[in-house]
Structure 1
Amino acid sequence: MELQKMNGHSRDDGFDELAEHEEFLPHKTGAKKEAHFTDFEGKTSFGMSIFNLSNAIMGSGILGLAYAMSNTGIILFIILLICIAILSAYSIHLLLKSAGVVGIRAYEQLGNRAFGPPGKVLAACIITIHNIGAMSSYLFIVKSELPLVIQAFLSKHENTGEWYLNGNYLIIIVSALIILPLALMRQLGYLGYTSGFSLSCMVFFLISVIYKKFNIPCPFEDGHHNLTSFDDHAFINGTDDHCEAKMFTVNSQTAYTIPILAFAFVCHPEVLPIYTELRDATKKRMQGVANISVMAMFVMYLLTALFGYLTFYGGVESELLHTYSRVDPLDVLVLCVRLAVLVAVTLTVPVVLFPIRRALLQILFPDKPFRWAIHIGIAFCLLFLVNLLVIFVPSIRDIFGLIGATSAPSLIFILPGIFYIRIIPEEQEPLLSRTKIMAACFAGLGFVFMVMSLSFIIIDWTTGTSHSGGGH
């Protein structure tokens, strides 16, 4: 894997900075080709890299975006989504520029260059905590949705307790038969094919959401009770708009939208590993991968939120699929969508696992060459831990809400900003230069997001209320 190759670069601090920077320049024709900060040439194509990064961005939060739009209105939601997408692309630009100057393509080693060993450990810990939370959220979807899908395929009207309808058994089976074999691949680039299939499943989900907009009348009927869902769910999202689209609205839930959207664009731990394995890697080429991936997810997020909201308006629930099930629990299309979402989140777990393994390798085995035993052992232990969390921790949403409120702003705003300020030499960019001031403001914005998110969680805990929303 790419990490062991990167480990040696923590010892390259004595190299001349210009010489390192020149490694990014194209080699002259006929000259001997040298490795770009790694001891192998990246073999992943531009398209496959886009699939991998897009899959890393795409999270379970897409199911909560219609709910978020219902709490902001269409115009405000679009403005916020555009701002977060631009900030995410800018954050990746800071990471790539920092990596280009010092010749490092590992998030943890950027932390080491910026702040020494404490910076390396801090970055590794934040990546590990955030991605374990993301993996757990995906497996929670498998735990809750897969039994329902199997039950529907078997034409069972209720769960009668068979083992194959037990979500705990099912996540163990899925982890062992699907996720673990994919996680054992040595290079992240090989997952481009599964990432492409995962994204196609989410495209099917999006097409179904658009189709259902024109097939579900408003007000819709509750498939369980033959009552309009607005009678008992009108205030699910704090609004009372039955069949009227709001362009701009503010309510008690509006403040949750920014953290939800920020978390939906977190992909930064995967950026540098994907950069390492990119064929003919240059900063410009990788920035192109990032820009296309962010733009593609922006379009998917916007269309999903818009058509989901325009289908149910004030009756939309925090998990969009649940709302469709209330209309018609036996709808074949909704069943297929559930299956597609299950496939998508299952195939995303291995992509998220790679950065955790890299972070652990950077801390525990910084100078060890690649060993299959360590590679396999870390993957197995991580999946074992995540399965335990999903099975035994009942209040996992609150726990990972707290993790997400601290790790996501750190990865997308704070760390890229402060790494850039510390790594870019002052003779190249003075401390009071426009770019470093912008990076400082960017990091400050992350602190604001963190404080705001933590405040909402604490308020929820102290008041005893539960405000749900999509997480990445």
Structure 2
Amino acid sequence: MPPTDVVEGVPLLVVKPHAASLDKLVQSKSPTSTNTNNQGSVFSSYVGILCAMLGAGIMTLPSTISAMTPAFGVGLLLVTGFLAFASLRCLCLSADVTGLYSYEHLSTRFFPPILQWMLRVLTLVPCFGACVMYMIVAMDMLLPFVGISRPLLCAAYAVLAYPLCLLDSFHALQYSNTVVIFCIFYITGVLVHHAWGRPWPDQSTLPITSVTWAGLAYAIPIQTFSFCCHFNYMRVYGELQHKPLVSTITWLVIGSAFLIYGTYSVAGYIVFQGLPPHDILTGFPISDASVTGVRLALAMCMWCKMPLAYQPIRDVAEVVCLPYLAPLTKWPFRVPFTGVHSIHHVFSLALTTTLMTRLSC
């Protein structure tokens, strides 16, 4: 009788006994275990991944194709999208082999403690920075239209985002994620409306008519980051009811993002006749009603995206802390932790604003 730990003659990954026992301990105490609540549908998974991918970075995409030639810029966007798909497929393969659907559990099984903490830091720092940046962008979008101070508006933003940050799964966030996607479609539609009927820019009058190393160095990081959703992808995959559909969902997400980004980039390039600003909103007068709608839609996006950046932080905190706080359960820990995290965001935003003000003087 063939051994049970081989598949077609290939031995499965061998897990060290102490790592396996530690993994079981973490899973038993953590709400983010491998036995994920499989409620995710094709729709909720699609909008969850796409929402994590889309964001304020779309405003800078027209400037990336103006830094090169338009054809090369769109081609580079296609290449970065394909590379993003390949990296997401690698995450799927890792999850399929191990049955684990979070970076925390993968690191617990395979890495020594020092590498586990390195991965945690690499997860926490960008996610916390994203939370603060979402708040900054939302404040910048809303302040011209409201008659309250930035600290008060920031506090109101944190209070409104607090309930969304308590939800367990991406499936529970499918409606707020759908709002983000509708807002991005609206923003893209506004720019296409402004570009409609305008002539293609005269290439002979533009300062950049060929691909340069400086243009590549500017465009590649922005376009690559635009397809980034890797912090949330594993969680969404773990929630998906029918795992074989993940490849189709990922293709749909990458294809949708490429169409949105490509359309937005070309439209912005046409509107500003080949010279779009780094932040495309700065090129429109604030009195433009359609641009006012874009600002409000972008602020709504930042509010709805806050839980996507916060969930990886919360998951790491619960996995690390709950095993040592038994018999404390997740909700008595999650509610105050999320509150402290929101307050920390407000103070971080105040500090960031103060530093930016002083540096600009």
Give the shorter-chain TM-score range: 0.7 to 0.9
Q: Do the aligned residues in 2 keep the contact of 1:188 with 1:354 (CA within 8 Å)?
A: no
The Cα of 1:347 is off from its aligned counterpart by 0.5
C-alpha distance 40-144 of structure 1, shift in aligned 2 (>3 A): closer
1:192 aligns with 2:201: no
Aligned match of 1:74: 70
Aligned match of 2:232: 270
Aligned match of 1:372: 331
Q: Do the aligned residues in 2 keep the contact of 1:75 with 1:248 (CA within 8 Å)?
A: no
C-alpha distance 396-363 of structure 1, shift in aligned 2 (>3 A): farther
TM normalised by structure 1 equals 0.64
Partners of 2:336 and 2:256 lie apart in 1 by 35
Does 1 or 2 have the higher relative contact order (CA < 8 Å, sep 6+)?
A: 2
1:99 aligns with 2:108: no
Aligned match of 1:441: none
Partners of 1:180 and 1:306 lie apart in 2 by 37
TM normalised by structure 2 equals 0.83
1:182-221 CA-partner distances (Å, limit 9, x unpaired): 11112221101110111101100000000011377899xx
Q: Do the aligned residues in 1 keep the contact of 2:183 with 2:301 (CA within 8 Å)?
A: yes
Partners of 1:117 and 1:184 lie apart in 2 by 28
The Cα of 1:141 is off from its aligned counterpart by 0.9
The Cα of 1:317 is off from its aligned counterpart by 1.2
The Cα of 1:104 is off from its aligned counterpart by 0.9
Aligned match of 2:304: 347
Give structure 2 stretches of 5+ with no counterpart: 1-17, 25-32
Aligned match of 1:287: 247
Identity over aligned residues, as a percent?
21
Q: Do the aligned residues in 1 keep the contact of 2:107 with 2:116 (CA within 8 Å)?
A: yes
Partners of 1:84 and 1:380 lie apart in 2 by 37
Aligned match of 1:143: 139
Question: Quick one: which amino acid aligns to residue 141 of structure 2?
Answer: E
Q: Where do 1:239-278 residues align within 5 Å? A: 248-250=210-212, 252-278=214-240
The Cα of 1:289 is off from its aligned counterpart by 2.2
Aligned match of 1:3: none
What is the DSSP-based 3-state SS (H/G/I as helix, E as strand, rest coil) of the residue aligned with 2:212?
Answer: coil
What is the DSSP-based 3-state SS (H/G/I as helix, E as strand, rest coil) of the residue aligned with 2:38?
Answer: coil
Q: Where do 1:164-183 residues align within 5 Å? A: 164=148, 166-176=149-159, 178-183=160-165
Partners of 1:14 and 1:173 lie apart in 2 by 39
Aligned match of 2:280: 320
Aligned match of 1:385: 344
Aligned match of 1:310: 270
Q: Do the aligned residues in 1 keep the contact of 2:34 with 2:100 (CA within 8 Å)?
A: no
Question: Quick one: which amino acid aligns to residue 355 of structure 1?
Answer: P
Aligned match of 1:468: none
Bigger helix share? 2
Q: Do the aligned residues in 2 keep the contact of 1:124 with 1:363 (CA within 8 Å)?
A: no
Partners of 1:247 and 1:287 lie apart in 2 by 38
Q: Do the aligned residues in 1 keep the contact of 2:34 with 2:99 (CA within 8 Å)?
A: no
What is the DSSP-based 3-state SS (H/G/I as helix, E as strand, rest coil) of the residue aligned with 1:313?
Answer: coil
Question: Quick one: which amino acid aligns to residue 247 of structure 2?
Answer: Q
Of residues 9, 16, 20, the one that matches 1:11 is 20
Of residues 175, 182, 191, the one that matches 1:209 is 191
Of residues 351, 359, 363, the one that matches 2:316 is 359
The Cα of 1:245 is off from its aligned counterpart by 10
C-alpha distance 366-301 of structure 1, shift in aligned 2 (>3 A): farther
Aligned match of 1:330: 287
The Cα of 1:66 is off from its aligned counterpart by 0.7
Q: Where do 1:51-130 residues align within 5 Å? A: 51-130=47-126
Q: Do the aligned residues in 1 keep the contact of 2:200 with 2:270 (CA within 8 Å)?
A: no
C-alpha distance 208-187 of structure 1, shift in aligned 2 (>3 A): same
Partners of 1:214 and 1:317 lie apart in 2 by 19
Partners of 1:317 and 1:330 lie apart in 2 by 18
1:325-344 CA-partner distances (Å, limit 9, x unpaired): 2xxx3111111111111111
Question: Quick one: which amino acid aligns to residue 361 of structure 1?
Answer: E
What is the DSSP-based 3-state SS (H/G/I as helix, E as strand, rest coil) of the residue aligned with 1:68?
Answer: helix
